[in-house]
Amino acid sequence: MAPKIPSDVALNPATIQFLDHSPKKLFINGEWVNATHSETFPTLNPADGQELTRVALASPQDVDLAVQAARQAFEKGAWGKMNGEERARLLWKVADLIDSHADELAELETLDNGKPLRISRHGDIPFAARHFRYYAGLAGKIEGSTIPVSLSDQFVYTLREPMGVVGLIIPWNFPLLMAAWKLAPALACGNTTLLKPAEETPLTALRLGELFQEAGFPPGVVNILTGPGIPTGAAIVAHMDVDKVAFTGSTEVGREIMKGAAQSNLKRVSLELGGKSPNVIFADANLSKATRGALWAVFSTAGQECVAGTRLFIERAVYDQVLDGLVAEAQKIRVGSGFTPKVHIGPLVSERQLERVSAFIANGRAAGAEIVTGGVRLGGELTSGYFLPPTIFTHQDDGLQIVQEEIFGPVVAATAFDEWDELIQRANDTRYGLAAGVWTQDIRKAHQFNHAIQAGTVWVNSYGLFDSAAPFGGYRESGFGREMGKEAIELYTQVKTVWIGI
């Protein structure tokens, strides 16, 4: 079954071949297998609502089989005997394979997620390859330390060892990239893994499993289980032989994962959760750059980013000027299928997500916030897809739902501010703390903001930049633990202290 795509788009033959093999199977112990109960579910193209292919739904029994395979590989297989250099070679090979299959992976990502093809091809896919290379470089450099202690007849040192079997549960906004963010450090540290992609976007994770096979990873080291949060994700969290779970997604689901971990074996948990990030434009900023930056801080990926700068604070002296600029630029943004040339943003990922975002928009309007552009589902030739235009609210009430709750769609709430103390209080008036942005040409003011704001990442005169070497994570209800950088090694290792009498 070939996917339904615009007639002027020619898919890579490898992409069509991948989709034609339906239903897609689970990857357990180095083999592609049907789900135990033969259950499947569809994955849809959000640009038109059409089914792309069917995918196996992993039951708790399937999860148990994968955990057994991962435990065997960790404790008795070849993987546990490999040193860091050997693991690095395999990770580097995965990166090379991602590069060589980049066109195909980008097409699958755009079909399944909806984002523009050029962003998949020139953003997400290359970044995923770089991520594997970064952690390949660290695989042989995971080390402990020697510790001088008060007892002169003792030599004390630490070892940093892998956690064991690790469950990795990822979201749908950056499917392949989120898989890389978690798989690369977990494997570099010597763990074995269960990867559960989001049920909305399983395709690139499954194709990645084939690349792991081709790279020569031993059976059981990487297992890929497709299915929804219940039962598949919940079974991973509850399993008594899973040592750690790393999750990226909503704060609400993060709470359930912590409960499940506590009620099973007190497994370690790291969480990268929701955000409601403040983005601040001071009057002394380069306003042209700041306006464009604020635009893409929220409308990139159709607003489906946890770091999206959805609370926009503009100094009153330039409020009207910046707002007019935002509206004018937002109305130029081209919305459409990710395969349409020169399109800027694609659809929301699912009908459920479209309904959720639309409900937020209706609530904001009813609560008295003013929509100055957007807010209505797009029709015409886009009617069958899940498309919303860039939507800008203005408001004077920070207590509104659209100001306090994560929307995860192309919606920004803009407001004016007057004084520094007022700004900081309002910017920090959120249960989240994932990211923030500030636009100013006064470096002293920027540093003051960096210290005052309660967020895990702050961008100054830019927004949404990432690198494999730079740690990323949140404060407050945005989670704990840091993805990327050397800090991610701490997520997937545990420390052993050794005392030697001399």
Which residues belong to the active site? 272, 306
User: What pairs with residue 262 in β-bridges?
Assistant: none
Contact 134, 469 (CB under 8 A): yes
- Cα–Cα distance measured from residue 5 to residue 9, given in angstroms and rounded to the nearest whole number: 7
DSSP states of 262-323: HHTT--EEEEE-----EEEE-TTS-HHHHHHHHHHHHHGGGG--TT---EEEEEGGGHHHHH
DSSP per-residue letters across 362-393: HHHHHTT-EEEE--S---GGGTTS-----EEE
Contact 226, 196 (CB under 8 A): yes
Sign of the alpha-carbon torsion through 160, 166, 169, 170: positive
Tell me, what DSSP letter sits at residue 480? E
Query: Which of 244, 141, 208 minimizes the C-alpha distance to 486?
Result: 141
Residue with tokens 């209800």: 477
What DSSP element (H or E) covers 105? helix 102-113
Query: Residue 489's closest CA among 228, 189, 248, 273?
Result: 189
| Contact (CB, 8 A) for 469 and 300 | no
CA-CA distance, 319 to 332, in Å (whole number)? Answer: 20
CB 475 within 8 A of CB 433: yes
Rounded Cα distance between 372 and 363, Å, is 15
Q: Find the helix packing angle between 84-100 and 175-188, rounded to 10°.
A: 160
DSSP 38-60: --EEEEEETTTTEEEEEEE---H
What is the token pair recorded at 349?
């990922």
- Say if strands 493-501 and 154-162 run parallel, antiparallel, or are unpaired: antiparallel
As a whole number of Å, the CA-based R_g of the chain is: 23
DSSP states of 185-254 as a string? HHHHTT-EEEEE--TT--HHHHHHHHHHHHHTPPTTSEEE--S-IIIIIHHHHH-TT--EEEEES-HHHH
Contact 45, 107 (CB under 8 A): no
Token reading at 73: 């590989």
